[in-house]
Amino acid sequence: MSTTPDRVALVLGGSGGIGRAVSERLAADGMAVAVHYAGNKGRAEEVVTAIDAAGGAAIAVGGDVADENDMRAAFEAVETAFGGVDVVVNTAGILILKPIAEFDLDDLDRMHRTNIRGTFVVAREAANRVRAGGAVVNFSTSVTRLQMPTYGGYVASKAAVEGMTLILARELRGRDVTVNAVAPGPTATPLFLDGKDEATIANLAKAAPLERIGRPEDIAEAVSYLAGPARWVNGQVLFTNGGIA
C-alpha cells in the first residue's frame, strides 16, 4: 500500500479488544490505520505488525485522549505519516460499575475525564481536521436503553457522548463529514468478561434474540459501514447488540 493512501483512519483505543478489531477491519477495507494507545505501546505495535503482515499500512500513536496537546500531536503524526485524516473512531473508554449511592466521586471524575472530556477533545480535533468524505464514529453503549443497576455513572458519560455526537453532526453542515455513534451490547472482550462467571455470561447471551454474546468483529462491521459506504447515515446512534435492546 502507498504511504499516501486514499483514506486514512485514526482509531483511538485501537489496541484494545473492540479497538483492535476495528483497526484490523478498516485496514482490510483498504485504509491506512493509526492505532492509538494510552499506555501499552507494545500492544499497539502488535496490531500494527498484524496489519503490516496482512498487506496493510499502519502506525502506532500514543497519548491521553483527554489531553488536548497529546491529541493534537497524535493527529499531526497521522497527517505526517499518511497525508491527512479521513476517519476517526473513538473506542477509548473506562468502565467502572457501582451503585450510585456507593459511587466514589474520584472514580466518577476519572471515568468522565476519559469518556466525556476525551470524546470531546478528540471530536474537536476531528472537526477541524477530517477531510471531505470522511466520518467520525464515537462509542456509546446499549446500556443507555437497558437501565441496568450499577451502570449509572457509566451511562451518564455515554449519554453525554450521544448528545455531543448528534450536535457535532449538525455543526459540520456543508463539510461532507458524517458523525455517528455505535452503541454495542454485551461483547466478548477481556474487559467485559473479567469477573463474570459462566452463568452470568450465559444469561446475557440468552437476552439477545440471536442467543449469543457479541464479538468484537460484529462491532467492527458496524464501524466499517459508518466509516465507508454509509454516507446517508448521519447524526445517529447505531445500536449494535443482536436485538437485546
* d(C-alpha 152, C-alpha 242), whole Å: 23
Domain range holding 69?
8-240
Can you read off the three cell numbers belonging to residue 172? 459540520
Asked whether residue 3 is domain-assigned, the answer is no
Task: Give CA angle at 191 (73, 143), nearest 5°.
Answer: 95
Longest dimension (CA), the chain: 54
**pLDDT tens digits along 3-31:** 467 899 999 999 989 999 999 999 999 99
**pLDDT tens digits along 57-88:** 999 999 999 999 999 999 999 999 999 999 99
DSSP-assigned letter for residue 151? -
As a whole number, the mean pLDDT across the chain is: 94
**pLDDT tens digits along 80-121:** 999 999 999 999 999 999 999 999 999 999 999 999 999 999
Least confidently predicted of 35-44, 181-190, 234-243: 181-190
* d(C-alpha 138, C-alpha 166), whole Å: 10
Q: How does strand 237-240 pair with strand 8-12? A: unpaired
Asked whether residue 139 is domain-assigned, the answer is yes
What is the number of domains present in the chain? 1
Asked whether residue 62 is domain-assigned, the answer is yes
Asked whether residue 103 is domain-assigned, the answer is yes
* Per-residue model confidence (pLDDT) at position 1: 41
Asked whether residue 48 is domain-assigned, the answer is yes
* d(C-alpha 231, C-alpha 245), whole Å: 25
CATH, residue 92: 3.40.50.720
Catalytic-labelled residue, pool 37, 151, 154, 225:
154
Asked whether residue 236 is domain-assigned, the answer is yes
Residue 191 has pLDDT above 90, yes or no: no
Asked whether residue 245 is domain-assigned, the answer is no
Residue 143: Cβ within 10 Å count: 24
Asked whether residue 1 is domain-assigned, the answer is no
Q: Which residues contact 202 (CB under 8 A, 6 or more apart)?
A: none
Residue 154 is among the residues annotated as catalytic for this protein: yes
* Per-residue model confidence (pLDDT) at position 188: 85
